[in-house]
Each structure stands twice: as C-alpha cells, then as structure tokens.
Structure 1
Amino acid sequence: MENILLQKFDTAPFSQIKNEDFEPAFEQAIKDAKQEVQDIINNPEEATFENTLEAMAFSGMQLDRISNIFFNLNSAETNEELQKIAQVVAPKLSEFGNDITLNPDLFKRVKAVYDKKNALNLTAEQLMLLEKSYKGFVRNGALLSDTEKEQLRAIDTELALLSLKFGENVLAETNAYQLHITDENDLDGLPEDTKIMAKQLAESEKKEGWIFTLDFPSYLPFVTYAKNRELRKEMAVVAGKKAFQDNEYNNEANVLRIVNLRQQRANLLGYTTHADFVLEERMAQNPTKVLDFLNDLLVKAKPAATKEFDELTAFAKNLDNIEQLEKWDGAYYSEKLKQEKFNLDDEILKPYFKLENVLNGAFEVANKLFGIRFEKVLNIDVYHEDVETYEVKDENNHLVALFYADFFPRKGKRNGAWMTSFKSQFIKDGINERPHVSIVCNFTKPTPTKPSLLTFNEVTTLFHEFGHALHGMLANTIYPSLSGTSVYWDFVELPSQVMENWCYEKEALELFAKHYETGETIPMELIEKIKESASFLEGMATVRQLSFGLLDMGWHSQNPENITSLKAFENEQFESTKLYPDVAENAMSTAFSHIFAGGYSSGYYSYKWAEVLDADAFDYFKQNGIFNKEIATKFKDNVLSQGGTQPPMELYKKFRGQEPKPEALLKRAGLI
C-alpha cells in the first residue's frame, strides 16, 4: 500500500491518512526537497532569478502540503500518537530549514542574483521575493562561520522542541481540570444553555450533576455569571496557574530556556535582542518604536481604565458589599454593570446569533463587498465530522477557494480560535492554483433542543477569523511564500480586525441577526445598545491588551539571562498596567501560547498596531457607506489579494490614500 501523503492530491485526503504514514512521508518529502535544492545548486548555468529564486520558490511543495496537514491536525484533532510524531519531525524540519539557509553554495547563487538586482528589471513581486530570500539567508546565519552555524542549528532544534512541549503542557493542564458540581444552588446565575452543556458533559462521563472545564465555552460563562464567588475564584485561579504548578506540566523552565535561546540566537546573528531581530521584518521596525507605541497608548488609556475600575469597584461594593475587587470578580461585575447601564445581557442577544445564521451573515457581507459566494459541499474529505466544507466562487462562477469551518470544542483540540490553510495560492505554468483555507473555533455545541447560539463576543471572533480567511482566499500572487497571510505580522491582523466592524452596523446585522425561533430581525434598540456598549470598559480592555504586549517586549527586548524568577519578572512588567491585586499562585507566561508556542514573540503589540489600521480603514468605509463597492474593491485589490508582495505601508496607502492615523481608534474606543 503506497503512502497516500506521497501521492498527488488536491484536497487533503484525511480519511485515508493513517498516523503511521506521517513519519515516512516527512522523511521522503524532506529527501525530495533536498534533491530539488541540490539540482538548483548543481545547475551549471550562471545564477539567474528564474533558475535560482523562482526554482527555490516552487521547491518543497509536497513537504509544505504534508506539514500543513500534520500541524493543523496536531492543533485541531491531536492525540498522544500525533504529539509523539511531532516531537520526532519538528527537529527534522528545523534541521532541513537550516540545511537550506546555511548552505553556502545555495547562498552564493542567491547573492549573485541579489548583487545585480538593480539591472534585472524585476517586477515588484519578483523584487520582494529576491529581497526576502536574501534576507532570509542572512537572518538565518548564511554569513556565520561553520562553528557558529552549528551553534545556530543546535539552538533552532532545541527551540522547535521546547515550543511543542510548551503547547502540549498547556493543553494537558486545560484537559486535566474539571469542576464537578452536585448542588444545584451552586449553579445560581448561570444561563440555561451553560447548565445544559455542563449536564451533558457530566452524563457523558456517567456522573451526577454538572461538569465545568477550562474550555472557553464552559469557563467563560461560569466566571461571568456564577453567583458563587468561591467557585468563581476556584475556576479563575486554576485557569491562571496553567503550567505554573508543581507537576510534570510546569512551563517555567521552558519559558526561561526559550527566551535565553532566542537571545543567544539573536546575538549570534548580530542583533542586540530577539526583539531587534524580529522587528527588523515588521512595520514597527525596532523595539523602541514598539515600546513608544504601547506606552503612548497606555498614557491615553490608563486614566480611563482607572476611572472604570473605580466605578466597577464601587458598583460591586454597593451590590454585594465586596471590599476588594479581585480578578475572579471582573467578568461577573462587568456583566452586571453592563446590564444595569445598557440593559444588555448576552443571554438576550444569543437567540439572535444562531451559528449558522452568523456564518451565512459573514458570507453575505463578503458577497456584498467582494462579489464571492459560498456553496456548501459534502464531497470534500474532512478530519472530523464537525468540519463543514464550502466552495467559494466569484461572479463568473470561477473557483476562488475551498473553505473549511471547524467550530466546536473537543478533547484533541486546543483552545482559542485561528485561521490556517491546507494549501497556499500560487500561479505556476499558467495555472492559478486556488487556496484551501480553514477557520477553527471553540463555540458552544448545539444540544438536542437548541442550536449553537453565540455570544456577541463569539460573533466578532467568527468575523475576525473569517477576515483572516478572506486574506487567504482572495490571494492572487505568483509565489506561495508571498501569498495570502504571508505578510508582516503587524499587518496580518488588519483584514481580520477590520471585518469585526461590520458586526456593529445595522445594515450588516439585519442580514443575519434573526431570532432562531421566531425569525424576527434583531430589534433596532438592541443594535443601538450593542453600539453604545462597544466602548464599555474599553479603557480596562485596552490596558489589559497593552499589558500582554509589554510582557512580551519585557521578555524579548532585553537580555533575559539574569531572570531567575518568572513570577517576580512578570510582576515588574505588569507594574504600569496593574489594576487588580496580584494572585500569588498565578502566572501569565507559562500559558502565553501566542508568544511561546505560536509565532507572536515580540509581536503581540501587533493586535493594537493593527487596530489603528483597522479603525482608520473602517472609518473610510463609514464615510462612504459600509458596503461601498468601490472602496471594497480597493481593499481587495491593494490589501487582500496582494499578500506580502509589497511593503505593507505602501499597500495601505494605495488603498487609503494616506498613512493611518490613531485618532479613529481612540475615538472608537471612547478614549477621546
């Protein structure tokens, strides 16, 4: 039986893949990719853009497909066997990457083309490929001595394994905890849906009562609505000490090792810190600019945050005689205050946000803006029965993309929401290969009596990930490495965050916010309340977001070798953003997967950075109509379809006609 992963396939053949196929498939694909690179090196002709850069851009395609399938499964549908395979293949892939970037003969050919780039009459995309390739070599050690190259290889291999281990520990800690309630009084305040879900979970484990977990659809409603303060505290403290406990899943040593290895790697390559290395390839350019950006926003947001915190404290004191507001009180009293101020409760809104309707709403918004249609198809292979598939077509009925949607939590799936792809878009031999894009979320599952009803926050999450998906689906570039979301990290959040804005607009909400039982469109007064409450406690939310960005920069914009206590270091970093009292047994970094298991190290600020872009971009729509076709086309042609083919600020200015201004964000957040 031949290995299915080494056959030619268009859509991922999930049902035919066996776990034992992965290792041999990786071995063979790495071997083939190495041979492709060797053929480029052995080419007796003088190095040209075509025979070197272009040939490299289209090498290792099979390996990319296998990697996409494997690592996406390891995030969305993992098991112990896949995790073990990941531990084996991650270092091999890291080594393969180094074999390419540290190959002196290959670099010699790339440099030969790079040195005469001005005489080559290249297109903007070709020039970007050449620049990125050359820089990729240099930034990955091509100019190092042989000894230094070996050091770099060792660091990269260890980092690949540590990052995997970090993520596995967080998942294990998430899965390890259950709050098992047998006294119905302890459910006081909880929404009916949440109780039903907890009951079902208990029944599935053949237990009496109700079970709550650290999965978001279970955890968040509990800490937001449960009247029992002690139980809220228990949940919040357990969630806050993930991988910070005295057990085999503790991530403290992993964090310290990761930041020190990153620092060593940066120094080896001639950079002062890891942040200097990372930010060279970002819109923000350097740590000083990022820290100035974050601290400038903090100066503007902190007074509002302090005022809001005082108001929330007074409200809790008045309502329940709470003397000191703690972290496990935040969501609970915020929700209560929101209800009092706006008479707006997520439970009132949820019936209008049936998952299927919201998804169709996102489709309809995309149709009105970009002229694409989504048709559900049942003949595409999927990795779990929950996954739905759609063909995306344009106005001429041409295939634009394949779209996968995976919405519900399960044991083998990590928390959170993300967009990913199984196949990139690119143009080769005159054929425009269209992308296969997926969004993965963790929303409440339907019950026998109720469909999946989303909180408003989940509605914006779906639109956010869908914005990333549009960036992938509407890609139209030649080279896969510049396609779709392959852009600077502080630009990648623009398409996702800008899409969230439609969730607050009457014209858009009327398309999909319909009561799941009566079909009634969401009442105008609720839309008004959603808009009014959009900036509710925005000062506190902004400061919280800035605290994560500052923690990330704390770890990565200075030499971490003298940091011995993770907790003490965190407390220092949080000093300027602190509102709630510290919880001694909690730490943020040990479960901060974005920066220790994902690609956001020295990049967490980019959420806020992109908010400046998205508020400015949406302001342009608002001034001219939120479904203005001309502006949508400018956005599609200059941002969504261009991927990383040009510097992001140039793309933004082509769309907007000017650089972004922070005023639109501050106004939207109610901070000015």
Structure 2
Amino acid sequence: MNPLLQDFNTAPFTKISSDDYKPAIKKGIEIAKAEIDAIANSTDAPTFENTTVALDFTGEKLNRITSIFFNLNSAETNDDIQKIAQEVSPWLSEFRNDITLNEALFTRVKSVFDDRKNLDLTPEQQMLLDKQYKGFARNGANLNDEKKSKLREIDSKLSKLSLKFGENVLAETNAFEMHLTNEDDVSGLPDSVKEAASQLAKEQDKEGYIFTLQYPSYIPFLTYTDNRELRKKMAIAAGKKAFQDNEFNNEKIVLEIVNLRQQRASLLGYKTHAHFVLEERMAEIPEKVIEFSNNLLEKAKPAAQKEFENLEKYAKKLDGIDQLQKWDGAYYSEKLKKELFDLDQEVLKPYFKLENVINGVFEIANRLYDLNFEEVSTIEKYHPDVKTYNVTDNEGNFISVFYADYHPRKGKRNGAWMTSYKSQQIKNGVNERPHVSIVCNFTKPTATKPSLLTFNEVTTLFHEFGHALHGMLANTTYNSLSGTSVSWDFVELPSQVLENWCYEKEALELFAKHYETGEVIPMKYVEKIKESASFHEGMQTLRQLSFGLLDMKWHSENPSEITSVKDFEIDAFSETKLYPDVAENCMSTAFSHIFQGGYSAGYYSYKWAEVLDADAFEYFLEEGIFNKEVATKFKENVLSKGGTVKPMELYKRFRGQEPKPEALLRRAGLLEA
C-alpha cells in the first residue's frame, strides 16, 4: 500500500520510498480532477458554497503529497527525487492549467463573482471570492483556445527550468571543496571553525582541513582567513556557481526563464512579468518599487560610499592593500568592527548555544503569544537531525505541529526557509491546525563543542521562526487565505519584526548564556551588539537594494534583446557598485530566490517589509517588548489573519496608522540628525 495515499495526520516519512511519489502524485491529480469536475459539471445553480468554498477545499490530498515531496527536494534530496521532480513538475503545471483554463468551472466562478453584491458575504468570504476570480482571470481563463494552449506550453517549460536551475546550483555548491594541510593556510581562523573543517576532512579519511561552499564553512572562511589568495579562491568559487563552462551552467536557463515569463505576461495582457506580479502586491506597480528603492538608495549611497572609503583606508593602513576586492570585505569589516566596538563574533558564540537559542525563541513566543513547545518523539522525521514539537497554548489547546531542521547536508540546499506540510483551515466545523517547518544551515556540533551560533545565525533563526509563527497562529476559515498566504511584500513582516528581539537586553537574558558556565551574556556585550547593529548599514542597504534592483531589471523590461547575462548584470549593478567587478563571477546564475523560489519581481519585499518591521517594533519599544496588549494586537491583526484582509488595512488595525519609513532610517543610522 502506498503510504502517501493512506489517510495520515503527520507526514509518514519513514514509510515512504522514492517509488511511492510518482504513483501518489498521479493518483492525487486524479482525485483532485474528479473534485473539480464535480463542481464544474454540477447542474445546480452556482452558489458561494457549492462553487467558491467547494473549490477552495479541492486538492487536499494532492497538496499534502506534493508538500512532502517538494519540501524533501529542498531539504533532503537525492538523484531519484530530482529526477522525479523533473517528471512530475510538468504534470502539476498542466493540472493547475486544467483548473484555471476550465471554461465550465470559470463560468460558475464568474457567475458567483458577478452576483457578489447580492450575497451578503463576510469580508473573508469576499476576499476568497475576489482572489479566486482573479486567480482565473490573471492566469488565462479569458484567453482563446490557441492562447490557452500556448500558456500551458510556457508554464510546463518554466516549471522544469526552475527545477533545473536549482539542481545546477546545488550541484555546483557540492562540487567545490578546498583541502588545506598547511597550518599557515588556516591562520586567523577561530578554533571552532578549524575543528569543524578538520572533522569534515576526517569524515573523508583526509588529513588537515576541508572547507566548502556551505554557508557555515564559507562565511567564516571569508571573514577570518588571513591568506588573501585563499579567500580570493573561495570567493571566486562561490561567485561562479552555475557560471562555468560545464553541464551546470545556468546562463541559457536564466535567459529562457525571463523570456518565457515575459511571453506569459504579454499573453495575459500585461506589459511585463513585474506588472503581472505586482498587481496583487502592496506595491501594485514596478514604478512604485523602483521609486521606493531609489529613495532608499539616495539615503544609503553616500553612507555606503563613506563606509567603503573608510574600509579601504583601514585595509591600506593594516596590510598595504591598494584596491579592496570582494574577498576582502568581510575580513576587514570584521577586523574594523572588532577595533571600533571591541566586539568579536567568536567571543559572542559561546553565549549562543543552539539549544539555548531555540529555548529562548520558544520563551519569547510564550511571553508574547502564550505558546508552549514540547519536543516529542512520536512524530516521524525525514532525517535524524530534525526535531519535532507539539505546540499548545496556555489552556492546553493544540495549536500546531512544528518541525525544525538546523544543520547542513549534501542533500540540502543552502540558506534558510520556512515551509508547511499542512495548512490551517476550518472545515465541517473543525479547526484543522497547521504543520509548520523551518530549515536552516547552522554549524554542526563537533567532538568537543555543541553547535554555537554566530550572531547572524541567531537572527536567521529568529527570522525563520517569525515566519513559522505566522503559519502556526493562522486562524482563518479557508486554507488558500491561511497563514503565510499573504501578499509577498507583506510576508516578511512577521519574520523580520522578530529579529528585533535579538538586540534587546530583556530578551537576550532569557537565552544568551555561556554554554560552559551558564553565565548570562555580560551587559557590555549587549551594548556592543546594539551599538554595532548599524555598523556598515549603508553598505548592507546598498547590497540588498542591488539585488532587488537586479530582480526588477530582469522582470520590468522586455528581455528579448538580452544576449549576455553578465553584461546585463553589470549594467543593473552600475548604481550600487562599490567593489570592482570579478570577470569570472555572476550573481544571476545562482540567484535562486528569483529563478527557483517565489521572489521574481519580489526581492524588493525584504526592504519593503523592513519599513513595516522597524515601524512595528517602535510600537513594541514604546510600550515594552513583552507588552501583552501590543503583542495581542499583532497576533490578532497580523499573525492570525493570513490573507483575509488587505495588508495595509491589517497593518493600520495593528498600528493605528500607515508605516513611516523614518523608523527604518532611524534604526539604520541613515537619518540625518
């Protein structure tokens, strides 16, 4: 019996074999098609219940199966899974088109939509109907048969290309390693980093140290290694992922993806892919995003240039370096930061034992939102590293299942993300609770030390956990409006706002305790963390804006004339460039957020949400970071509402006003005194 086709509550990971996926997905599509056909071919007059609501509840079995499959393709993949993904993605793309291009179904949806003023719907019901209708209209329901066929062809190609893009990046990440046996070559590296690299070498029966492009290895190497040539070698290897003359090159794929997206947008009556995407976002149009980005750029650029000049002078004074290169930035920044603030990341790490940070974020969630986390062994896992929890409120009501997966592996892509295995919804009077997961890539414990996080990793954990809270506290009727199913430039608010607690003494005292002595992090370090929070903020802002503007340039103009990915990118970076270009490197060929993830024409949303989060956190600071009244307002108006109300309306309900960008500029130290 196929475990994916049985009824299950939590995902039956230990029972699944690779052979189960294709038949399960095929059957899931069949079941969902039958559900769709029953609605489309009904002889009853279309109503909100028998059409709009019925349609929202279709495809549950398929969604559960595909969420397991694609989550594993990101977190625990192998050759079999990648091969299956290439096969089933076009099936799923075809199935989605079978829904949106089903004329009989659209006729019923449109009939309910046209009659909406006579239906006495709640705001949530109105939102569901509106989103559903737009989902059809924006994805080709009004096209003629020839154009519908063309749309299917484009969508099928896009689904395969984005998968291939991701596979190439992963293959290139795994293909590179730097094996060092000379002690001089690891000069400057902290003992904990050397120990991890030594452990990696031992696992391969080698002497010395092995460094890889996985973040816990790559970032410390660039930050601390004294040997400039080795830093250069490592940085160039990272920068040329999928930009080499081999089978994993993504240049053609990038051009194919942007051209297909443009063709799709044009087919649907939009000027560009960005116009199509942004219509349903807070920003609404590309021009508004570009204006928003340029306004921030205007404020950040003078600060960034000044910071860069100071860093160049510092590197010249220290080591006689005439031209600062990309592989020098992290190294000299860390040295300068240490000098200015007497703050060494390595001195902080013993206070950030992974288990303590996890308990800390749980405690903060309890103080703010009355949540309790109990680790359990009864929930199946897809890897021994994964931790599983039951989440309840203070009354003992079940809130969510929570999975957490913290360490890098060969089958796991780089970075950190939150995902879901089951959405929250209210069906037949039962509030079905969500199953939520976060996946990160933090340094593994070694033979002598537990997993000790850098401060950046601490903020990453809080960020992903903020997304998880958005999923866990979902409390809407319809799953398509539940949890993180919100406008893409609003989805980063819950994650980014939670990062702010990492800088507050009251919060740090809960979890920042020395792993050996139990000593709470000294106040002088807390003050230094806060003082240094806006260190090189101009350069950091410029970097984020450069990624967002590159994304917008790819997607807000017609890409059909572009022949060189590299030349296009150089042009896109012209206004945000600080370091000299590296000929062998290209950002776009490994820019997974926009070519594999869901951030195309949406990368700006990180900065957009920063304006929201800085403004929101000022409210907490005014009333107290654990103020129950403010926390309850945030929970009830933001975290639990999902996409049931327009984002700006939700924000105003919480804050009482629209966000002010000054809060972000103040926090970043970019506001003139």
CA contact (8 A) 2:475 2:640 kept: yes
* Aligned-partner SS, 2:218: helix
CA-CA distance at 1:449 after TM superposition:
1.1
- Residue in 2 aligned with 1:146? 145
- Residue in 1 aligned with 2:378? 379
- Equivalents in 2 of 1:213, 1:587: separation in Å? 19
Q: What are the Cα deviations for residues 516-557 of structure 1, in whole angstroms up to 9, with x where unaligned?
A: 000000000000000000000000000000000000000000
CA contact (8 A) 2:484 2:491 kept: yes
- Equivalents in 2 of 1:44, 1:570: separation in Å? 55
- Equivalents in 2 of 1:333, 1:358: separation in Å? 28
- Residue in 1 aligned with 2:413? 414
The one-letter code sitting in structure 2 at the alignment partner of 1:316 is A
Q: What are the Cα deviations for residues 623-672 of structure 1, in whole angstroms up to 9, with x where unaligned?
A: 01000000000000000000000100000000000000000000000001
Match status 1:275 vs 2:274: yes
The one-letter code sitting in structure 1 at the alignment partner of 2:74 is S
The one-letter code sitting in structure 2 at the alignment partner of 1:474 is L
CA-CA distance at 1:157 after TM superposition:
0.1
- Residue in 1 aligned with 2:329? 330
CA-CA distance at 1:44 after TM superposition:
1.1
- Residue in 2 aligned with 1:73? 72
- Equivalents in 2 of 1:407, 1:271: separation in Å? 41
CA-CA distance at 1:600 after TM superposition:
0.1
- Equivalents in 2 of 1:42, 1:309: separation in Å? 65
- Residue in 2 aligned with 1:451? 450
- Equivalents in 2 of 1:426, 1:87: separation in Å? 30
- Residue in 2 aligned with 1:394? 393
- Equivalents in 2 of 1:377, 1:204: separation in Å? 30
- Residue in 2 aligned with 1:462? 461
Tell me how many residue pairs correspond in the alignment.
671
CA contact (8 A) 2:74 2:412 kept: yes
- Equivalents in 1 of 2:596, 2:192: separation in Å? 32
* Aligned-partner SS, 1:622: helix
- Equivalents in 2 of 1:327, 1:124: separation in Å? 51
Q: What are the Cα deviations for residues 105-141 of structure 1, in whole angstroms up to 9, with x where unaligned?
A: 0000000000011110111111111000000001110
- Residue in 1 aligned with 2:51? 52
- Equivalents in 1 of 2:600, 2:59: separation in Å? 26
- Residue in 1 aligned with 2:624? 625
- Equivalents in 1 of 2:567, 2:669: separation in Å? 34
- Equivalents in 2 of 1:642, 1:114: separation in Å? 23
Q: What are the residue-to-residue correspondences of 1:602-621 with 2, within 5 Å?
A: 602-621=601-620
- Residue in 2 aligned with 1:429? 428
- Residue in 2 aligned with 1:223? 222
CA-CA distance at 1:465 after TM superposition:
0.1
CA-CA distance at 1:395 after TM superposition:
1.3
- Equivalents in 1 of 2:205, 2:215: separation in Å? 22
- Equivalents in 2 of 1:397, 1:448: separation in Å? 39
Q: What are the residue-to-residue correspondences of 1:504-543 with 2, within 5 Å?
A: 504-543=503-542
- Residue in 2 aligned with 1:307? 306
CA-CA distance at 1:207 after TM superposition:
1.1
- Equivalents in 1 of 2:667, 2:351: separation in Å? 24
* Aligned-partner SS, 1:547: helix
CA-CA distance at 1:257 after TM superposition:
0.4
The one-letter code sitting in structure 2 at the alignment partner of 1:380 is I
The one-letter code sitting in structure 1 at the alignment partner of 2:159 is A
CA-CA distance at 1:208 after TM superposition:
1.4
CA contact (8 A) 2:41 2:104 kept: no
- Equivalents in 1 of 2:527, 2:382: separation in Å? 41
- Residue in 2 aligned with 1:370? 369
* Aligned-partner SS, 2:418: strand
Q: What are the residue-to-residue correspondences of 1:471-482 with 2, within 5 Å?
A: 471-482=470-481
- Residue in 1 aligned with 2:39? 40
Q: What are the Cα deviations for residues 349-394 of structure 1, in whole angstroms up to 9, with x where unaligned?
A: 0000000000100000000000111111111100000000111110
The one-letter code sitting in structure 1 at the alignment partner of 2:652 is K
TM-score by length of 1: 1.00
- Equivalents in 2 of 1:214, 1:118: separation in Å? 56
- Residue in 2 aligned with 1:253? 252
The one-letter code sitting in structure 1 at the alignment partner of 2:442 is F
The one-letter code sitting in structure 2 at the alignment partner of 1:414 is R
Q: What are the Cα deviations for residues 69-125 of structure 1, in whole angstroms up to 9, with x where unaligned?
A: 000000000000000000010000000000000000000000000001111011111
- Equivalents in 1 of 2:170, 2:447: separation in Å? 28
* Aligned-partner SS, 2:328: helix
- Residue in 1 aligned with 2:85? 86
* Aligned-partner SS, 1:603: coil
The one-letter code sitting in structure 2 at the alignment partner of 1:105 is A
The one-letter code sitting in structure 2 at the alignment partner of 1:374 is F
- Equivalents in 2 of 1:22, 1:528: separation in Å? 52
CA-CA distance at 1:38 after TM superposition:
0.4
CA RMSD of aligned residues (A): 0.4
TM-score by length of 2: 1.00
- Equivalents in 2 of 1:119, 1:460: separation in Å? 49
Structure 2 unmatched runs, 5+ = none
* Aligned-partner SS, 2:388: strand
Structure 1 unmatched runs, 5+ = none
The one-letter code sitting in structure 2 at the alignment partner of 1:632 is A
CA-CA distance at 1:182 after TM superposition:
1.0
* Aligned-partner SS, 1:432: strand
CA-CA distance at 1:448 after TM superposition:
1.7
The one-letter code sitting in structure 1 at the alignment partner of 2:297 is L
* Aligned-partner SS, 1:390: strand
- Residue in 2 aligned with 1:647? 646
- Residue in 1 aligned with 2:437? 438
CA contact (8 A) 2:274 2:555 kept: yes
Match status 1:100 vs 2:99: yes
- Equivalents in 1 of 2:72, 2:330: separation in Å? 33
- Residue in 1 aligned with 2:199? 200
* Aligned-partner SS, 1:576: coil
Q: What are the residue-to-residue correspondences of 1:124-135 with 2, within 5 Å?
A: 124-135=123-134
- Equivalents in 1 of 2:127, 2:340: separation in Å? 51
- Residue in 2 aligned with 1:550? 549
CA-CA distance at 1:434 after TM superposition:
0.5
* Aligned-partner SS, 1:237: helix
- Residue in 1 aligned with 2:238? 239
- Paired-residue identity, %: 71
* Aligned-partner SS, 1:327: coil
- Equivalents in 1 of 2:324, 2:141: separation in Å? 54
- Residue in 2 aligned with 1:501? 500
* Aligned-partner SS, 2:402: strand
- Equivalents in 2 of 1:433, 1:400: separation in Å? 9
